[in-house]
Amino acid sequence: MKKNIIILISLLIAATSCIERNPGHFQDICGVYFNNTSGSMLVTDSLDVTFVYTAGNKMEIPVKVQLLGRASQDDRPVEISVSSDNAVEGVDFVLPQQPVLQAGASSMDYVVTLMRTEALKSEKKMICLQIHANDHFDLPITEMVQYEDTVSTLQYRIYFSDMFTKAPAAWDANLVGAFTQQKFELICKVLGIDPGDFNDPSIITLAKLLYISAEMTAYVEGEVAKKAAGQPYDEDAFDRQTGEPLKFRK
């Protein structure tokens, strides 16, 4: 019985020591890091986006900054710099004003606005965000290792273009011919279809593709007739490299 009492007292002392030590240690930490996840919920240090499924000329990209430590009762500025070898601020992207971690918050979004330019149809651009220590925050976490892959938590790269890497999910070459970005953009322009719809086969159905094929074939034929008659015509109806009329049938 005496032995059991001694063991119980020892356990209580150990537990009390842990309770006192851990909060004190955590309270001393005051840091920030990039904490962005992919579809698999793994932390990532880069993002690759395209404007091809976007109707507008701007795209907002929220980059999450995570606090490590206790929230504060005061607003605190976060130091972030942005650099690039081929993108220009004010032309290719717009940055928010001085980022601030709001009072009581444990995270914030640093929202970068990407701009759609003609250059993005032939060139992928990249900007690199770098988080820095300042009078309010340290950098206690520099990287994370996940499944033998090491990612940075101090840098975050955004790659962006207006190019396709593959045909959209709903495109059927048997119904509307071989895929090209020019044909895709002409369809959206002439028929007023949201570019994002082409990634949803429940919207762009087989019946809709047959309609698109018929309408676009008639449209191109009309533009060919206008060109032959010396009338103003839509240059986008002709292949930019060969000058031949676009084909929307196999």
* Per-residue pLDDT tens over the stretch 111-165: 999 999 999 999 999 999 999 999 999 999 999 998 778 999 999 999 999 999 8
**Are residue 117 and residue 198 in the same domain, yes or no?**
no
**Do residue 138 and residue 58 come from a single domain?**
yes
The answer to whether position 249 is within a domain reads: no
Rounded Cα gap, residues 39 and 246, in angstroms: 37
Neighbours of 170 (CB within 10 A): 18
For 209-233, how does the pLDDT look when each residue is reduced to its tens digit (9 = 90+)?
999 999 999 999 999 999 999 999 9
- Single out the residue in 97, 132, 161 at which a domain terminates: 161
Q: Which of 156, 216, 228, 220 is nearest to 188 (CA)?
A: 216
For residue 33, which amino acid is it?
A: Y
pLDDT in tens, 183-215: 999 999 999 999 999 999 999 999 999 999 999
Same domain, 142 and 32: yes
Residue 16 covered by a domain:
no
| Tally of CA atoms within 13 A in the half-sphere of 66 that contains its CB | 12
Over residues 25-36, the pLDDT tens digits come to 556 789 999 999
Total tally of structural domains belonging to the chain: 2
| Residue 183 placed within a domain | yes
CATH code of 153's domain? 2.60.40.2030
Residue 142 forms part of a structural domain: yes
Verify that 131 and 229 share a domain, yes or no. Answer: no
Verify that 48 and 148 share a domain, yes or no.
yes
| Residue 202 belongs to domain spanning | 173-237
Of 161, 181, 206, the residue that ends a domain is 161
Confidence band for 250, pLDDT divided at 50, 70 and 90: confident
